[in-house]
Each structure stands twice: as C-alpha cells, then as structure tokens.
Amino acid sequence: MVGTDPRDPTASTLEGGLTRSRGGFMSRLRGLLGGAEPAPEAWDGVEEALIAGDVGAQLAGRIVERARMRGDGASAGERVRLELAALLAPRDPDWDLRPAVVGQPTIILVVGVNGTGKTTTIGKLAARERRAGRRVILAAADTFRAAAIEQLRAWADRSGADVVAHAPGADPGAVVYDALDAAVARGADVVIADTAGRLHTKAHLMDELAKVRRIIERRLPGSAPETLFVLDATTGQNGLAQARAFNEAVGLTGVVLTKLDSTARGGIVFAIEDQLRIPVRFIGVGEGIDDLLPFDPARFVDALFEAGA
Ligand SMILES: Nc1nc2c(ncn2[C@@H]2O[C@H](COP(=O)(O)OP(=O)(O)O)[C@@H](O)[C@H]2O)c(=O)[nH]1
Ligand SMILES: [Mg+2]
C-alpha cells in the first residue's frame, strides 16, 4: 500500500500519517522480527525498539515476555503484532459522535495542555460533522486570549460552523452555557467547546473544567458530553501523566492523538489505551482541515507493520 491515495495525492491517509513511525521504531522491529525465530539478544532489541517508539519501558518488557511465551505457532512478528493489538481498549466498532439523548445536540468538550492541537482538531471535527450534514456550533471557551477566539472563528468560517463567543477574559462556563442555549434555539446538532490549554498540575484550572462539565449537566441533563483529551504524539511518556490528571478532573471519554505525522514514535497509542482504558477516537496526521482520521485499531496496527512505499 502506498502512503497517499493515488486518486488524490493530497489526501490524508493512515499510511501517510504513519510514515515516520513506520520508518522509525517499526522499521527496526520489522528487521528484527522478519526472519527466523529471534535469538535472545534480538528480543532485547525488540524491547529497545518498542521503548524507542514510546510504548513505555514497562509495557515493552511485558509485550516481549508475552510474545516470547506465546505457543500458538505464529511467527515472532505475528506474535508481537497480536500482543500490541491486545493492548488496545475494547470499543464498539459502530461508535460515532452522536447525542446521548435523542433530540438533544451532541456535545463535545475538548481539553488538553497548551499547543497540543485542540483548536485545530475542533476545526477538523467541525468540517467532518458539516460534511455529514449536521449543524455545528463552536463555543469559544478558550477566553484567555483574543487570538484564540479569532483562531476558532477562522476554523468556523472554513468549516461552515457557527461560533458563540464572549469577550476575552469571560467565564468559560458562561460561554458554554450560551452555546448550548443557541444550539437548542437554532436546532443545531453538534456543539464543540474549545477550552484554554492548561497544565494538568494547576488545580484551579482543572477545577474550572470540572465546573464547565457541571454547567453542561445543568443546562442539558443527561447529555453525557464526549470529553476528548487532545494529546500531542510528540510529547512522549509525559502524555500519560497529563491524560491521567485530566481524566481525574473531568472524566475523559476519548483521546485525540495529534501530530502523528511529526513523530517516529507512534507507540504512545498503546501506552495510553493500556493504562487508561480510554479509546483513541481520532488521530491528527497534518495541519489541514482533512487531516483527521477516525482511529481504527486493527488498521492502525496493520499499517505500523507494513513496510510502506
Ligand atoms: N503536523 C501537525 N500539526 C498539527 C496537528 N494538529 C495541530 N497541529 C499544529 O499544532 C499547532 C498548535 O495547534 P492549536 O490547535 O493552536 O493547539 P491548541 O493550543 O491546543 O489549541 C498549530 O501549528 C497546528 O497547526 C497535526 O495533526 N499534525
Ligand atoms: Mg487553542
């Protein structure tokens, strides 16, 4: 399979987005696992390659141990592939962004630290929902900087979504409340709330997110917002600590892994899903409006193991 769709050289594909990872730690892995049953030293190499790919030291050790012990007669490469696939959290294959209560809008709250790609992901998600014929409202609840509101407006223009915004410095909870009001009044199908990037170590900012969640529950009880944690794939193992803290503060329902195109270490997917049991829902593979792909675990693992064009 080639890295891009031959019909459209600019189309984003999973294989294209994983080019670096496939050439990076996975290329080493494929080299070690491609031939006869690996010697003990080669298994050490497999463990190192997995660690280099950001799978995490402990997990890498566990994968190698289990793959070595597997007595199912499969090749070494196939055993490692099966062990990696087994780390991914179980999910409903039909999952999509849908309202929890029929007749109410789907509500998506997007959280994460600074610069991970939250606003960009919202623009891409808005475009995706618009393509599906849904009416989308973006809530500019990153009120820290005027530029953040403008950035969201630009994505709204590009994707054909509406924006609800207050002045810079406004209460994020009030913005989200108004956006829900607007969604009900206008019969919108989807509300996506942008939030200011925050360090997971800052308790008062994490409390603010919890407050936004309570406001959503008060305005639209039972709406069960999809709470997406946006993780920059180039962050490394610290991403796990971030995800854990956000999960404790707001209860995450999914992860969006951005900038997979910029890293050779796509193994962080396995660490996140294994440790948090929260599914990766989308992956970001570029800066463009179409560079967001739904995450398909089986295809992801297959693409990693493919040598590429
Ligand atoms: N290469 C690449 N860059 C991305 C991706 N997602 C976001 N970015 C870039 O990351 C930077 C920060 O994005 P932004 O959405 O402003 O992050 P925020 O602070 O979390 O809202 C911008 O330059 C984006 O273009 C991605 O999937 N791939
Ligand atoms: Mg932003």
- Residue 15 banded pLDDT, cuts 50, 70, 90: confident
Whole-number Å distance, alpha carbon 154 to ligand 2 midpoint, is: 12
Output the pLDDT for position 2. Answer: 39
pLDDT greater than 90 at residue 128 = yes
Whole-number Å distance, alpha carbon 233 to ligand 2 midpoint, is: 16
pLDDT greater than 60 at residue 49 = yes
What dotted CATH number matches 106-295? 3.40.50.300
- Residue 307 banded pLDDT, cuts 50, 70, 90: low
Determine the average pLDDT of the residues in 122-141.
97
Output the pLDDT for position 5. Answer: 44
Mutate to test the pocket of ligand 1, among 287, 289, 291, 292 (most ligand atoms within 8 A of CB): 287
C-alpha radius of gyration, the chain, whole number: 20
Who's near 48: CB < 8 A, 6+ residues apart? Answer: 60
pLDDT greater than 50 at residue 92 = yes
Q: Which ligand has the nearest atom to the CA of 155? A: 1
Q: Which ligand has the nearest atom to the CA of 233? A: 1
Whole-number Å distance, alpha carbon 110 to ligand 2 midpoint, is: 10
- Which protein residues are within 6 Å of ligand 1, measured from CB? 112, 114-120, 197, 230, 258-259, 261-262, 284-287, 291
What confidence tens digit (pLDDT) does each residue in 132-171 have?
999 999 999 999 889 999 999 999 999 999 999 999 999 9
Output the pLDDT for position 155. Answer: 97
Q: Which atom of ligand 1 is nearest to the CA of 115?
A: 19
DSSP, res 266: T
Query: Which of 107-121, 172-186, 293-307 is predicted with the least confidence, judged by mean pLDDT?
Result: 293-307
pLDDT greater than 90 at residue 9 = no
Tokens 């892994």 map to which residue?
257
Output the pLDDT for position 308. Answer: 58
The Cα-based distances of 283 to 23, 87, 277, 286, 296 in angstroms read 18, 17, 17, 9, 10
Determine the average pLDDT of the residues in 5-15.
60
Q: Which atom of ligand 1 is nearest to the CA of 142?
A: 21
CA 140 to chain centre: 20
Who's near 275: CB < 8 A, 6+ residues apart? Answer: 59, 240, 244
Q: Are strands 106-111 and 190-195 parallel, antiparallel or unpaired?
A: parallel
Output the pLDDT for position 28. Answer: 86
- Residue 203 banded pLDDT, cuts 50, 70, 90: confident
pLDDT greater than 80 at residue 7 = no
Q: ∠7-158-160 over CA atoms, to 5°?
A: 105
Residue nearest to atom 22 of ligand 1 (CA): 117
Show me where the domains of the chain are located: 106-295
Whole-number Å distance, alpha carbon 144 to ligand 2 midpoint, is: 10
CA–CA distance, 219 with 217 (Å, rounded to integer): 6
CB-neighbour burial class of residue 298 (10 A; exposed 0-12, middle 13-18, buried 19+): exposed
pLDDT greater than 50 at residue 8 = no
pLDDT greater than 60 at residue 3 = no
Output the pLDDT for position 309. Answer: 46
What residues sit around ligand 2, an ion, with C-beta below 5 angstroms?
Answer: 118-119
Determine the average pLDDT of the residues in 91-114.
91
Output the pLDDT for position 165. Answer: 96
| Phi, psi of 138, deg, nearest 5 | -100, 130
What confidence tens digit (pLDDT) does each residue in 257-303 have?
999 998 888 888 899 899 999 999 999 999 999 999 999 888 888 88
Who's near 164: CB < 8 A, 6+ residues apart? Answer: 137, 138, 139, 140, 175, 178, 179, 182
Q: Which atom of ligand 1 is nearest to the CA of 285?
A: 27
Mean pLDDT of the chain: 89
- If one compares 106 and 21, the residue with the highest pLDDT of the two is 106
- Residue 11 banded pLDDT, cuts 50, 70, 90: low
Number of H helices, E strands in the chain: 13, 8
Three-state DSSP class for residue 283:
strand
Output the pLDDT for position 67. Answer: 94
Q: Which atom of ligand 1 is nearest to the CA of 123?
A: 15
Answer whether 279's CB lies under 8 Å from 272's CB. Answer: no
